Amino acid sequence: MHKKSAVILLLLFAIPALADQVVLKNADRLTGSITKSDGKVLVIKTDYAGDVTVKFDAIQSIASTGDLNVSLGGKTVVGPVTTSGDDVVVATRAAGPVEAPKASVTMLRSPAEQAAYEKSLHPGVLEGWNGGLNLGFALTRGNSETKNLNIAFNAVRKGFHDKLTLYTNSIYAANDLPTATPHTTANAIGGGARYDHDFAPRVFWFVNGDFYHDALQHLDLRSTAGGGLGWHAIKHDATTLELLAGVNYTHESYAVPINLPDPAKTRNQAGLTLGDAFMHKVGKGTVITQNFFFYPDLSQTGQYRGTFNFSTVTKLNKWLGWQNSFADIYVSNPPSGTKKNDLQLATGLNVSFTH
């Protein structure tokens, strides 16, 4: 009977030894599986409280039972981790114990976290996307007979050193009363793609392509291709600001002559691309985005185009939100009889996705 009790006690004492342990400077002890650290905070997964995040400088000692990937200054080593005073000791298989100041730890990952990180560096074509679909619709019948439909789509795929952005937006509105002139009061669709690649911590190059159609401006298609350099003026998780400068080539095709009495319906022009792209997260539920692009025409001095977009998305739950968007598209030399400026304001639901 005494032997059985002794075995049970040994098993009970052995269970904590099979888990990672983190002891804080206030003597609190956490037991579980160390997941990751960025040198500022450490995450340990516990059985009793799930993921627990602690400040790295509040840790007195660390003891891992399995291998961890640890970046110490400029090098990465792999092995079980312990601490000795103010130093971290990694028991590597190839080079033996590697000891360094605890303050030099810039990254720490479990094997699962390391595998996920390495996969994020080279995601599949359909992996790593985040974005949303905006839907807005209005209908009236009776004394007025109108309908309005707005659809927008945005998707971003971020790699370790690059980013691919896809976007499109369309708006259609009509007055169905027999006496209404014109019946169609809005019919525009635009979209494009932009690819960025970092070649320095703050500097990147980009290429982009855009298209735009506006029936009320008699614009069949405007297609623009360009590229240039960008600067990450602000690069944080909650706020980003990118400034861009480059060149572009634009081809326009209209349904009517552009400038009477000239019968030409197409126009080609080379121009500059100057602009910014801004994103800011307000709390945990709202994201604000804004971008402005200015396209001076190098072929016809004094002519230019400009686009401004501002939008907010507020989460209602994990996948559903409420969006508001405002757009202003300006062309200095549209066909005769059409206006230079188009303003678009839309609101509706946002369906977000992550893959």
Domain residue ranges in the chain: 2-121, 129-354
Give the pLDDT band (50/70/90) at residue 14. very low
Look at strands 320-331 and 341-354 and give their pairing.
antiparallel
Look at strands 68-72 and 87-92 and give their pairing.
unpaired
Which one, of 303, 309, 301, lies nearest residue 331 by Cα? 303
Best CATH choice for the domain 129-354 from the list 3.40.50.150, 3.30.200.20, 2.40.160.40, 3.20.20.80:
2.40.160.40
Q: What is the pLDDT of residues 300-336, one digit of tens each?
A: 888 999 999 999 999 999 899 999 999 999 999 898 8
Q: Residue type at 320?
A: L
How many whole angstroms from its chain centre is CA 329? 24
Cβ–Cβ under 8 Å, residues 282 and 314: no
Q: What is the pLDDT of residues 105-147, one digit of tens each?
A: 999 999 999 988 887 777 777 778 899 999 999 889 888 889 9
pLDDT surpassing 80 at residue 12:
no
The mean pLDDT of 289-301, rounded to a whole number, is 93
pLDDT surpassing 50 at residue 5:
no
- Asked which of 5-9, 56-60, 62-66, 207-211 is least confident by mean pLDDT, the reply is 5-9
Question: How far is 247 from 227, CA to CA, in rounded Å?
Answer: 6
The answer to whether the bond into 182 is cis (omega within 30° of 0) is yes
- Asked which of 51-55, 231-235, 240-244, 333-337 is least confident by mean pLDDT, the reply is 333-337
Overall pTM surpassing 0.85 (yes/no)? no
104 DSSP assignment: G
- 169 CB neighbour count, 10 Å cutoff: 21
Question: How far is 278 from 226, CA to CA, in rounded Å?
Answer: 20
Q: Tell me the CB-side half-sphere exposure of residue 109, using CA atoms within 13 A.
A: 14
334 DSSP assignment: P
Residues ≥6 apart with Cβ < 8 Å to 288: 278, 279, 280, 281, 282, 310, 311, 312
Question: How far is 154 from 146, CA to CA, in rounded Å?
Answer: 27
Q: What is the largest CA-CA distance in the chain?
A: 110
The mean pLDDT of 160-183, rounded to a whole number, is 90
pLDDT surpassing 50 at residue 4:
no
Question: How far is 322 from 348, CA to CA, in rounded Å?
Answer: 6
